[in-house]
Structure 1
Amino acid sequence: MDFEKLEIKPFEPEDYFKVLGFFCGDSFLNNYIKDSQCALADQKNGLTSTTLILYEEDVVGYYTCNSNILTVDKNEAQSIGLQESFSVPAFEIKNFAISQKFQRKGIGLHMFMRLLGQIATLKDTIAARYLFLWSVETAIGFYEDKLYFERMEESSENGLTLMRLPLINTFNVYEEDVE
């Protein structure tokens, strides 16, 4: 796969018809990008930002991000000086999906490393202790083995598992891959 041919662009209303054929194997992720009341509406309302990944004009993936808070346990909260609240600033990847026919070709890892580079830059200006996401069961190993995420909770009622990556002293691990 020639990663130089990937085009990364914000999801705009004029891209709506491009995403209708998207299929990643997960119905929630498929519906989120295809339903005009989801990704585009969330973006219009300032709740999220969705980015499309295109290869030769085809949508091969997308990711949706926002800033958020993450609740940590009492011991961690107290160790960083929090007394009343156990919430810390965090970046959230709400959705990260690669088209089924392009999975296992390195696009996911390539795009995630690129996204981590963007987060590293933002982190210099906007405080965040963690990057977190909700993973489908089939992607847990990818996040643990390739990206060093840790599980916070086992699967929820919607079948997703909450995972986090500490951002404090993390980016030196990725430094070579991001450049």
Structure 2
Amino acid sequence: MSSEETPLNGYVCAPYLHNHDSIELKDTWSRSKNIEDMYFVTATFSNESKPYFTDCANHYLLAKFKDDKKTMKDLSKHQFEKTSFVFSMDDDLFEREVDGLMNFVSVYYLEYGDSVEDISEVARVVAKRNKVGRACLGHMNIYSTEPPKFTFPYNKNIVVLEVSSDKSHQSVNQYCEKTRRDICRKGITMTNLVGLSVLEKLK
């Protein structure tokens, strides 16, 4: 079945602006059975992705959802000037138990497609990193009251890693960057889109 027919799980990032709409969206997701977990996070966008998302925020609500269609419906009712991101997961590369609580989500994009060989290589490299609890492949939709100046060309080749560690966010970010470089050494151009550091678990 195609993704148009089948609900997909994934992650949503909505800017937390400390205004009525942000608080209302947080309350909606707190009550929603579609939202499994929700976090307050700080976002660090890469230099490569900033030109596409010039209106990005510093703080976001990060939520893990079961059904991307329901999540996108929520965002259509709560749109902000700053961009919201929906990462719908098409394939799990792996998911496993790791020590510690998830405290970082790293989002990347593949610049040159997603051949089976490339995806298998990404999975092999990431699987060696014992702090990564989940790695998945998907696509991205964005929501904003202000359309972006430039169209992001890699929205169908998104890679998301969940990382669990008791070390500092800076240390975890370096850990993810080393993982990315290891993949690039295999001849696969994987570029950082955004790193999301968990500040507080809300649900």
> Could you tell me the TM-score, scaled by structure 2's length?
0.28
> Could you tell me the TM-score, scaled by structure 1's length?
0.31
The structure whose residues are more often helix, as a share, is 1
The structure whose residues are more often strand, as a share, is 2
